[in-house]
Amino acid sequence: MSKLHYSQFYIGVCTLAALATMANINMASDNLIIVLALAVTFLGLPHGALDFAVAKSLNLVTSVSTAIRFVTIYSVVAATSISFWIWVPDIALVLFLCISAFHFSADWRATMPLFSRVGLACTLLCGPSVLYSATLTDLFTALLLTTQAANWVIQGMQITFYIGLCVFLYFIIQLPIHKKSLSVWQYSEWLTLLLSSIILNPLLHFGLYFCLLHSPKHLQDVGVKLHVSVKRAIAISLPFVILTIVLAAGLYELFASSNLSADLLRWIFIGLFGLTMSHMLLIHLWHGAD
Over residues 241-277, the pLDDT tens digits come to 666 666 655 655 555 555 555 666 677 778 777 877 8
Question: Looking at the predicted structure, is the pLDDT value of residue 31 above 70?
Answer: no
Give how many domains the chain has, as a whole number.
1
- Return the pLDDT at 36: 67
Q: Which residues make up each annotated binding site for Fe cation?
A: 47, 103, 214, 218
- pLDDT per residue as tens digits for the range 220-230: 877 777 776 66
Is residue 184 within 8 Å of 190, Cβ to Cβ? no
User: What are the residues whose beta carbons fall under 8 Å from the beta carbon of 235, sequence distance 6 or more?
Assistant: none
| Nearest of 2, 32, 3, 1 to residue 17 by alpha carbon | 32
User: What are the residues whose beta carbons fall under 8 Å from the beta carbon of 240, sequence distance 6 or more?
Assistant: 45, 46, 48, 49
- pLDDT per residue as tens digits for the range 85-134: 989 999 999 998 998 899 899 889 888 999 999 999 999 999 999 999 99
**Residue 46: band (very low, low, confident or very high) from pLDDT cuts 50, 70, 90:** low
DSSP assignment of 214-250 equals: IHHHHHHHHHHHHT--HHHHHHHHHHHHHHHHHHHHH
- Return the pLDDT at 255: 53
- Return the pLDDT at 266: 74
Give just the sign of the alpha carbon dihedral 280, 78, 63, 47: negative
Residue 276, Cβ neighbours under 10 Å: how many?
A: 19
User: Could you give the CA distance from residue 67 to residue 156 in angstroms, rounded to a whole number?
Assistant: 40
**Residue 43: band (very low, low, confident or very high) from pLDDT cuts 50, 70, 90:** low
More confident site: 30 or 192:
192
Q: Which residues make up each annotated binding site?
A: 47, 103, 214, 218
Q: What region does 179 belong to: left with phi over 0, alpha with psi -120 to 50, or beta? A: left
Q: The pTM is what?
A: 0.84
Residue 238: give the domain boundaries. 3-289
User: Could you give the CA distance from residue 32 to residue 51 in angstroms, rounded to a whole number?
Assistant: 29
Question: Looking at the predicted structure, is the pLDDT value of residue 16 above 80?
Answer: yes
**Residue 51: band (very low, low, confident or very high) from pLDDT cuts 50, 70, 90:** confident
